[in-house]
Chain A
Amino acid sequence: MSAWVAIRTVARREYVERVRDRTFLISTGVVVFILVVITVLPSLFGAGDRPSWKVALVGQASAPLAGVLPAAGQALGADLGTVSLPDRASAEARLRSEGDGGKVDLAVVDGDQLVALRTPDGDLVAAVAAATRELRLRAALTRAGASPEAVSAALTPPRLTVATLEPAGSDSAETAARFGSFLLYFQLITYGSWVAGGVVEEKASRVVELILAAIRPSQLLAGKIIGIGLLGLTQLMLLAAVGFAAATAFGVVDVPASLLGPIAAVLVWFVLGYAFWASAWAVAGAIVSRQEELQNTSTPLVLVMVAGFVVAVMVGDDPGSLAARIASFVPPVAPLVMPLRMAAGQAAVWEVAASMLVIVAATVALVPLAARIYAGAVLRTGGRVRLRQVLRETRGRTRASAGSPG
């Protein structure tokens, strides 16, 4: 059987068995749910929503405000409605009333007294102040002999054009990249530990001996890593699609297309990061005999990941810093840092290319070594295998060559 067929067969089993697993399906569902919630939640709970106020106008002096308050509210990004009430007592009753129907947020009595149940929103007071100022200005200008058209023209500002120094939508891109970096951290640890757990499972159940009677250790390792990696990529793509759809549907971002760059970067860096990490995780699994021992050998890997995540959080605030630039050339950390720098527009094309080249080169150097340790250790049972011993014993032997005498 060709090597490729062997690898594909193993990869298919890893993918199919895991994707069918109820625990996986449930956890994926939970993650998707959480993702939708944190994407949509701000808009559901009114963050970024237009405030909506109702103002009661009491007395002759307050009446003209009805004409200008809505526009003043508009300028502050709020919906402002007015209602005329005969006296202060009825206004107070409406201030105290429960229920949306007749409730008012503020009463303006005789043009200059503001009455509220508690300290009113600053924006609301500012809107009333602006409206009052406009009324007085109009009156003063009219008294000075200006025509109503001239007054209106003066008080209507010209349409202002806005130019931004950063590209449109880069804020949401950076937020997406931060979230993506966080997700990458979890995915890399999760799927890496699945590789380690899968290796130990085969070792502890001894099924590995039956498999290695049919195919080579390197083929089993490659198939396992590819199968689990494809599953991780599938899950990440699902999350990206759901996140993108939710953000678009609920209008969370102004320019949905600005998310596509960071999403693509996260997917690419997952592939690169996983390829780099997976073989190390496989070694962590191969040198122990039981699941309980796995924690000892996987802790160093987790610690490096945590350190990488801390670095990513720190440089996330300043993606152009020297620390960020250095971190994007350190293979274990680069997958968490580079998407942030790319989204912030702080990474030159050559830097991205060079960073990718470094991690690919590191992976190419690591994989044969990991495959050798894996092949030497995977048939050994009974306690922890020493790395140096395996490396010494596998030197010069062509096939998997360790194992206990028997």
Chain B
Amino acid sequence: MLELQGLTRRYGDTVALDDLSFTVARGQMFGFVGPNGAGKTTAMRIVLGILAPDAGQVRWLGRPLDAKGRARIGYMPEERGLYNKMRVADQLAYFARLHGLDAGSARAAADRWTERLGVAGYRRSRLETLSLGNQQRVQLAAALIHDPELLVLDEPFSGLDPVGADALAEVLAERAAAGVPVLFSSHQLELVERLCQAVAIIVDGRLVAAGPVDELRAARRERLYRVEVAGTDGAWAAGLPGVEVRAERDDGLLVMLGDGVDDQAVLDRARAAGPVRHFGVVRPTLAELFREAVQTG
């Protein structure tokens, strides 16, 4: 597993990262979210060894991550970058060789990944002649070319159309299923929620929440319920102590229960008003958790 331990990094007087720690488990899809400028790219660059931290360390499989271990990482920088004038297969083989593959294996890997990602027809083309979508595929192939043991992807979904995003998600899920930890940052929180087992939320270089998405939801102190009572409006809930009506929707009321309020007592009041079709906890979306984290963090 990958551990970030107490990473701190300053640029002059600006603190880009402040004691950042979290852990990505084997085979886990891990979402890394935070507002622009929160320090996600800095953290990823430190994992890759492109930047040095002022304090803290990155550990991989229980040991400090060294150059040898880093060569086993697949990386996609936020600012995409490949050689525009180089041919696709040559380019991928080059990156494979930089990661230590011999010439034959590098060629084979380039063939395999261009095939897998649907750009086999462009192997002999210069990158600049490809459409942006296909360039993205080549970029992904460059990250996967050396069969990495760990994937670190900075905003891999940005700029992809829905089809491209689905294809990427599929490949990442496949790698995760093979035991590869996949750490990626994204602004698309619905997508992170759908794909990831765990997330880390950082604001201004500090971690405000990290862990499995379910646990983050459960850890929320406030309890939001949706209550659907047939044939009545929200009048029954008005005036109940410790109960706040957040919204009246077609599918019922959204009510927030305060500390110490017994949900069964609320259910009794609802049944008294009419037949209850639905009574249950509304699980906050990651987007809601994120907004709260950003506001309070």
Contacts and interface: CB of A to CB of B under 8 A. Distances in A.
B187 interface: no
A203 to B, nearest CB: 9
Interface stretch (B23-31, B41-49, B262-270, B284-292): B41-49
B2 to A, nearest CB: 15
A60 to B, nearest CB: 82
A401 B50 CA distance: 7
B14 A209 contact: no
Nearest to B93: A13
Given A209-B81, A403-B45, A1 B50 contact: no
A9 B48 CA distance: 20
B80 interface: yes
A213 B100 contact: no
Interface in A202-261: 202, 205-216
A406 interface: yes
Given A397-B52, A405-B16, A406-B40, A210 B100 contact: no
Contacts of B161: none
Interface in A260-299: none
B94 A9 contact: yes
B82 A210 contact: yes
A209 B39 contact: no
Contacts, number: 89
A399 B95 contact: no
Interface stretch (B70-78, B206-214, B237-245): B70-78
A313 to B, nearest CB: 37
Given A214-B95, A406-B40, A207 B49 contact: no
Interface residues of A, number: 32
B50 A406 contact: no
A238 to B, nearest CB: 24
B98 A206 contact: no
Given A1-B99, A210-B95, A213-B70, A205 B83 contact: yes
Contacts of B86: 17
A39 B100 CA distance: 48
Nearest to A211: B98
B77 A406 contact: no
Nearest to A16: B90
B52 A205 contact: no
Contacts of A397: 52
Contacts of B73: 213
A202 B81 CA distance: 8
A76 interface: no
B50 A207 contact: no
B77 A205 contact: no
Nearest to B76: A210
Interface string B74-109: 010111111111100010001101111000000000
Contacts of A6: 98
Nearest to B41: A406
A5 B100 contact: yes
B50 A403 contact: yes
Given A405-B16, A405-B37, A406-B40, A215 B98 contact: yes
A315 interface: no
Given A212-B50, A400-B51, 10 more contacts: A1-B71, A210-B75, A214-B95, A214-B98, A379-B51, A399-B52, A400-B50, A400-B52, A405-B11, A405-B39
11 contacts: A9-B94, A10-B98, A17-B90, A201-B83, A205-B81, A209-B77, A212-B50, A213-B77, A214-B71, A379-B51, A405-B41
